[in-house]
Chain A
């Protein structure tokens, strides 16, 4: 570990100073999120899921195809949201609620539109 990497005294003090909020919470620079193996692992899993979804496109799944496709896409997105976008370690409640809020909103917009589309 290089000298440059070790936190300076000033930086360590900042971690203890309750009035200087360096990362919006107890995490981040003072208590780092994740690790390189974790991130690379997520990346590998994402690549695998990508190859899986491409392979499944060749199968005859009928109506189930769109469900499978969306399920895999949702899984990949969840990995990106929780792992890469740090939602797993997120302090602010309002931020953690944002994804469900947006999903419900979209579901409502699309769903209610379908009360028209399906029954015309």
Chain B
């Protein structure tokens, strides 16, 4: 009976990406409610926005190669870093893991056939695309691209004649999409786990996605109202952020960062969760300290929501607030450190297999640790007075976001590649791509830490000649890194088209997703699997072929 009610009638047997016979072509994709296909919709969109944002970044590094004007005006430069920020933050890194892997992999990890709300899932994607379209339209209409930085600080964002309202409204729509994804993920984890999978038997990647989803639900509404208030201020002049009417511009910053700091935990937590899946698999050893890692995900989500004032130390907030936020900022480093230590302890005396996915996982640890340590520097009040709004900050967050989540996304793509495509990539090529990316990354961003320390301000179109040497090195590093990333894309796309056929469980993982065939079918299980062992119990798992 279950057989007859499968999707065979519309899709036939076969992988999840097999075209529908009822709605062929694009229409089938644009009306799907299947979690894997929606994950693919997000992957395509986010991949495109990432590419665009990287191009903007490259253009900026070309401009900054030497002092003085090279290829763009100062006003254009301002628009570049604003757009680069909006794209990377709201259209790439915040959504990436929850929408791509939260959708594609989460149901397979918990033994479910889909997300809790499949139609809401598709609606989230449409909201996402609407927000993206609005952001793009803002670039070309009503004064053009915002030049305020992605942070839209008042009073400049209220006065500048460019299309701030449309851009901020785009962020509002993107926030709605993120909220609905969070609702879907929390509901899915609560409602659809397979029989026998208690919270204590969930893969840690699920814990990561789950904690993140709570942050998406609780924090995102604040950016929603803040962006709406920018629009309302510009349209009606209510005065809440306008000193000429008694308003307080610093309150804008409070509201903005109340979301935008937790947002960076939305970025990093799911990546950390996936790392917690990868380290056991590639060390063929049970994770060290499952409970502590699960708890640390919740701890990062909660304590991370208490630290937003560290973006505002030198912007006029009280010293008392500075001290409180600084203390909390130091506290939030602890659960992150717990994760790193536990991953390394997992590797100890394990049987290590180096695969491209694991190279990215190791890079994650290395780069995230550097980024995290620089975070401690700037969490300290006195140090931040020196380095606030310098390249040190820019280096810090690129190490954390790109070195962390970015590497995490690449790791996830390589890890689940066989499940998604049914193929294997060319390993040698993948390693070269990784090496170029990793080396280029460090040549690019380490000079940022030095330049920032020496006083190079961020978001500046020009600089004194003394910085030229390091700026050139950074630009060269950027070009190497981008070449590496381009090779990653090539490696993945060619692998999908022409790679060797993949076995069901090439990495010999013990989580439920690896019990499905490669590539995964449209429907996961006819009857939900019964879960007896833990997610990293390798001693009892079937050997992959």
Q: Is the CB of B321 within 8 A of A108?
A: no
Q: List 26 A-B contacts (CB under 8 A).
A: A92-B190, A94-B186, A94-B190, A101-B218, A102-B218, A105-B305, A108-B305, A109-B258, A112-B306, A112-B324, A112-B325, A113-B254, A115-B318, A115-B320, A115-B321, A115-B324, A115-B325, A116-B250, A116-B254, A116-B321, A117-B318, A118-B318, A118-B320, A119-B321, A120-B316, A120-B317
**Separation of A117 and B321 alpha carbons in the complex (Å):** 9
A112 to B304, CA, bound (A): 13
Interface residues on A, range: 10 to 19
* Given A112-B309, A112-B324, A116-B254, CB of A105 within 8 Å of CB of B218: yes
B500 at the interface (CB under 8 A from A): no
- A119 partner, pick from B218, B254, B305, B320, beta carbons under 8 A: B320
Q: Which residues of B contact A113 (CB under 8 A)?
A: 251, 254, 258
Give the shortest distance, in Å, between B199 (CB) and chain A (any CB): 11
Query: Given the complex, which residues of A lie within 8 Å of B222, measured CB to CB?
Result: 109
Q: What sequence of 0s and 1s flags, for each residue 66-90 of chain A, a beta carbon within 8 Å of any chain B beta carbon?
A: 0000000000000000000000000
What is the total of A-B residue contacts with beta carbons within 8 Å? Answer: 44
Give the residues from 257 to 316 in chain B that come closer than 8 angstroms, CB to CB, to chain A: 258, 305-306, 308-309, 312, 316
Residues in chain B near residue A94, CB distance under 8 A: 186, 190
Q: Which residues of A contact B254 (CB under 8 A)?
A: 113, 116
CA distance A102 to B218 in the complex (A): 7
Main secondary structure of the interface of A (DSSP, over half): helix
A120 contact set on B, CB distance < 8 A: 316-318
User: How many Å from the CB of B207 to the closest CB on chain A?
Assistant: 15
- Known contacts A94-B190, A105-B305; decide if A112 and B321 are in contact (CB<8 Å): yes
Q: Which residues of A contact B325 (CB under 8 A)?
A: 112, 115
Bitwise interface map of A from 92 to 112 toward B, beta carbon under 8 Å scored 1, else 0: 101000000110010011001
Within the complex, what minimum Cβ distance (angstroms) separates B233 from chain A?
Answer: 19
Q: Determine the chain A residues whose CB is within 8 A of the CB of B258 once the complex forms.
A: 109, 113
Task: List chain A residues, Cβ under 8 A from B308.
Answer: 112
- Nearest residue (CB) in A for B323 is A115
| A120 CA / B218 CA spacing, docked (Å) | 28
Shortest CB-to-CB span from B208 to chain A, Å, is: 18
Which of chain A's residues has its CB closest to B190's CB? A94
Q: Is the CB of B190 within 8 A of A116?
A: no
Query: Does B319 sit within 8 A of A, measured CB to CB?
Result: yes
10 nearest A-B pairs in the assembled complex, by CB-CB distance: A119-B318, A116-B321, A119-B320, A115-B321, A116-B317, A120-B318, A115-B324, A116-B318, A113-B254, A105-B218
Residues 40-55 of chain A, each 1 if its beta carbon lies under 8 Å from chain B, else 0: 0000000000000000
- A46 CB to closest chain B CB (Å) equals 26
A118, B324: Cα distance in complex, Å: 13
Taking the closest CB of chain A, its distance from the CB of B300, in whole angstroms, is 15
- Docked pose: A119 CA to B306 CA in angstroms: 18
Q: Looking at the complex, which one of A105, A117, A119 makes contact with B319 (CB distance below 8 Å)?
A: A119
